[in-house]
Amino acid sequence: MGGFQSKNQFPVNGRAVVITGGSKGMGKAVGKILAEKGANVVIVARNVEKLEDTLKYISEHASKPSFQRFHYISADLTDPTEAARILSETTAWNNNQPPDIFWCCAGSCHPGLFIDVPIEVLKEQMESNYFSSVYVAHAAVQSWINHFRSSPDPNQPAKHIVFTSSVCAFLPLIGYGPYTPTKTALRALSDTLSQELLLYAPLVAIRTHTVFPGTIFTEGYEKENLIKPAITKNLEEGDGGQTPEQVAAASVKGLERGEELITTNGILGVAMKSGMLGGSNRNGWGLVDTLMSWVVVIIMVFVRKDMDGKVKAWGKERLGER
């Protein structure tokens, strides 16, 4: 945990980073910023044309173009067998060392009222957001442990898994029924692994993190807005939104400070998170999180009542008095 240490706890210079969902939106912005910081970057997504264009864009932002290397892999991450292929391809590409960092950014959002959404969508959302990250994390952790079992190196900079969740994981929001549980599940996995991977600390340090952005202005966001219920749009207006570059920069800052659960949208995100900390690791000594949580636990009672009032009013307007 960061605390009072000022050392960069997320060094990427000269290290190999795999970014899933790296061809667009937030993943692309993460690729750019990590290239600027000297990382060797692999991006993974399905559409090859997008991957080619974005790889060129990311490589143009390299700080040491003659040393840094860039690569893309086209894969559908909802296929469980693809994670093993990504691991073996990227390990071969990285001088037979498993890459140092896996940032799972691939995902999508299909909003809708629960009963209006076909059952397949509920499954598809879990695959797109949760399993796409789980398969990659599972393959990466296995490969690190196998690699370091024969020659332990616990003092080298930590390996990292970064999951991408959403502030939706911190509060109920009508219309996100198909989506929110997938992002909450990721946070639960991240917290569990942050404890469980301590088992392997004598072999290799592995840290898990989750980033919780609010609204990000991306292609994915535009697409979800085409089918998003008006009431969802109305309730989420409280969060102004950020560009992918702002989200990527705030995420990397949090990682560099050594944070485990990282919000990107200022005080709003910190407040929402501190209201839902439970047994999660605090940032630093947890002073800000703890003080904030005392206030938020009270504020949330009113926020929830206000939101429920808006939901009821919208329902009356839509369905008529019953």
Ligand X SMILES: CCCCCCCCCCCCCCCC(=O)[C@@H](N)CO
Which residues of this chain interact with ligand X, rule CB under 6 A? 109, 166-168, 173, 214-215, 221, 224, 236, 238-239, 271-272, 296, 299, 303
Place of tokens 């109920």: 172
Binding piece for ligand NDP, criterion CB under 6 A, among 71-79, 152-160, 281-289, 302-310:
71-79
Taking the C-alpha atoms of residue 217 and residue 10, their distance in angstroms, rounded to an integer, is 26
220 binds ligand NDP (CB under 6 A): yes
Q: C-beta of 100: minimal distance to ligand X in Å? A: 28
Residue type for position 144: W
Kindly tell me the number of DSSP H helices and DSSP E strands found in the chain: 11, 7
Q: C-beta of 276: minimal distance to ligand X in Å? A: 10
Contact 45, 82 (CB under 8 A): no
Task: Print the binding letters for residues 109-128 with ligand NDP: x by CB under 6 A, - otherwise.
Answer: x------------------x
107 binds ligand NDP (CB under 6 A): yes
Taking the C-alpha atoms of residue 1 and residue 191, their distance in angstroms, rounded to an integer, is 13
- Known catalytic residue: 183? yes
Which of the residues 183, 200, 228, 273 is marked catalytic? 183
296 binds, among ligand NDP, ligand X, none (CB under 5 to 8 A by kind): ligand X
Taking the C-alpha atoms of residue 35 and residue 43, their distance in angstroms, rounded to an integer, is 12
Task: Print the binding letters for residues 76-95 with ligand NDP: x by CB under 6 A, - otherwise.
Answer: xxx-----------------
**Residue 158: how many CB atoms within 10 A of its CB?**
17
Nearer to ligand NDP, 30 or 204 (CB): 30
- E strand or H helix that includes residue 222: helix 219-225
251 binds ligand NDP (CB under 6 A): no
C-beta contacts of 307-310 below 8 A and 24+ residues apart: 307/172, 307/173, 307/174, 307/235, 310/231, 310/234, 310/235
Place of tokens 């102004």: 240
Residues near ligand NDP (CB under 6 A): 21, 23-27, 45-47, 50, 75-78, 105-109, 128-129, 132, 164, 166, 213, 215-216, 218-221, 244
Q: Which residues are catalytic?
A: 179, 183
